[in-house]
Amino acid sequence: MTAITAPRGTRDILPAESWKWSYIISTASRTMRDFGFSEIHLPIFEHTELFSRGVGETTDIVEKEMYTFTDRGGRSITLRPEATAGVMRAAIENNLCAQGASAKLWSWGPMFRHERPQKGRYRQFYQIDAECLGIAGPMADVEVIALSLELFRRLGLKNLEVVINSVGCEKCRPVYRQKLVEYFSSHKSELCGTCLDRLGRNPLRILDCKNESCGHVADGAPDIFDSLCDECREHFAEVRAGLERLGFTYTVSKRLVRGLDYYTKTAYEILSGDLGAQNAVAGGGRYDNLSSAIGGGKIPGVGFACGLDRVALVMEEQGCSFGERPGVAVYCVAMDDESRGTVQALTHSLRMAGISAECDTAGRGFKAQMRAAGSCRFACIVGADERAGGTVAVKNLADGSQVSVKACDVAGYIGGKL
């Protein structure tokens, strides 16, 4: 029988890598706390409508990337392709933003998109995401961008570029959209098939097409800043001023529109020079219409999602520190078969005292156990003499010194040395 492998676009995060992920998550957790964000856990699958109405019918995600199925109750269910719509749904459902209250929430976990897999792009990938709900003013945008950059600073990422744009609001975007349709219609012969298709449905997306010819046309497209209403213009100016006040450098790109329909006003991305084609480590922005699109009242929001897989890749590439790989401090060794039970009891007593400890459970010989102890700080060795005397030979594996310690004092002795 052929062996079953993981589905295309998914991968196993094995111990050699998973401890690095834990480091990133715990750094994120501390950073979120320092910015006043609370952690939430949400379902991995939601009603399909949440994404078709929230993310947008004409987006790549909804049109061709979702893992959608009918469950046994006949409901259309989708594995979440992104986090924001779910966070907003939860906020509405649980009244987190009732009577003008605001909520700062963060989460992390797997997302699912049926994309073409390549380096840094998977079908099951992981995001760390933060959402600030209920605040319409530009200071919240600045705080969210600052949060993502502070996370990356703590992780030691270098050579990042922050790109920002304003994509307008429901008042000024239709005017801009019309200008784009007129402009791109007069350049149809230079557009790729996908963009021709986008022209009638989602012309803003032509602006970020990676196709070279489309890029040339997009460079000459009308500038959104000529169409922004006063409110959006002012909002963007205040976001820029706020970022500058905090000492962040950024570039403005009128071609940054992002792939999700719910963005209004601020859109931003953080790019890494060390990632190749999939160079975005994080992206986000403001989404003041998402809440009403999914049946809530008017709850403004701004947030970001960062790609955990990609952050780990960049950190690896840049030689960033992941802290110390957590290991077990003590290995308890049985010199003979008769001592195995005593050794397991000793190991358990160390664990109960909060000291990480291991012993052999596979019946391996003394030499193999000592080899296994090699990566630990101490070996606790028990043979016939120790059993008879109620002692343990504690060997310091860093300097090779060895002392005999009463069995009941081992935890205290080692605890004092760690």
Stretch that binds ligand AMP, among 207-215, 275-283, 337-345, 378-386 (CB under 6 A): 275-283
Q: Which residue lies nearest ligand AMP, judged by its C-beta? A: 307
267: which strand partners? 165, 285
Which of left, alpha, beta for 91 (phi over 0: left; psi -120 to 50: alpha)? alpha
80 contributes a contact to ligand AMP by CB under 6 A: no
377 contributes a contact to ligand AMP by CB under 6 A: no
283 contributes a contact to ligand AMP by CB under 6 A: yes
Q: Which of 27, 31, 78, 127 binds ligand AMP (CB under 6 A)?
A: 127
Q: Report the 10 Å Cβ neighbour count for 15.
A: 7
307 contributes a contact to ligand AMP by CB under 6 A: yes
Q: Which of 222, 259, 317, 356 binds ligand AMP (CB under 6 A)?
A: 259
The smaller minimum CB distance to ligand AMP, of residues 180 and 260, is found at: 260
86 contributes a contact to ligand AMP by CB under 6 A: no
322 contributes a contact to ligand AMP by CB under 6 A: no
Per CB under 6 A, which of residues 144..173 are in contact with ligand AMP? none
191 contributes a contact to ligand AMP by CB under 6 A: no
125 contributes a contact to ligand AMP by CB under 6 A: yes
Q: 232: closest CA among 210, 259, 205, 263? A: 263
Q: How far is the CB of 42 from ligand AMP (least distance, A)?
A: 15
Per CB under 6 A, which of residues 286..305 are in contact with ligand AMP? 305
Q: Which of 47, 114, 121, 158 binds ligand AMP (CB under 6 A)?
A: 121
281 contributes a contact to ligand AMP by CB under 6 A: yes
310 contributes a contact to ligand AMP by CB under 6 A: yes
265 contributes a contact to ligand AMP by CB under 6 A: no
Q: How far is the CB of 1 from ligand AMP (least distance, A)?
A: 31
408 φ, ψ (degrees, to nearest 5)? -75, -10
The smaller minimum CB distance to ligand AMP, of residues 313 and 343, is found at: 313
The smaller minimum CB distance to ligand AMP, of residues 122 and 322, is found at: 122
Interacting residues toward ligand AMP by CB under 6 A: 82, 113, 115, 120-122, 125, 127, 259, 280-283, 305-307, 309-310
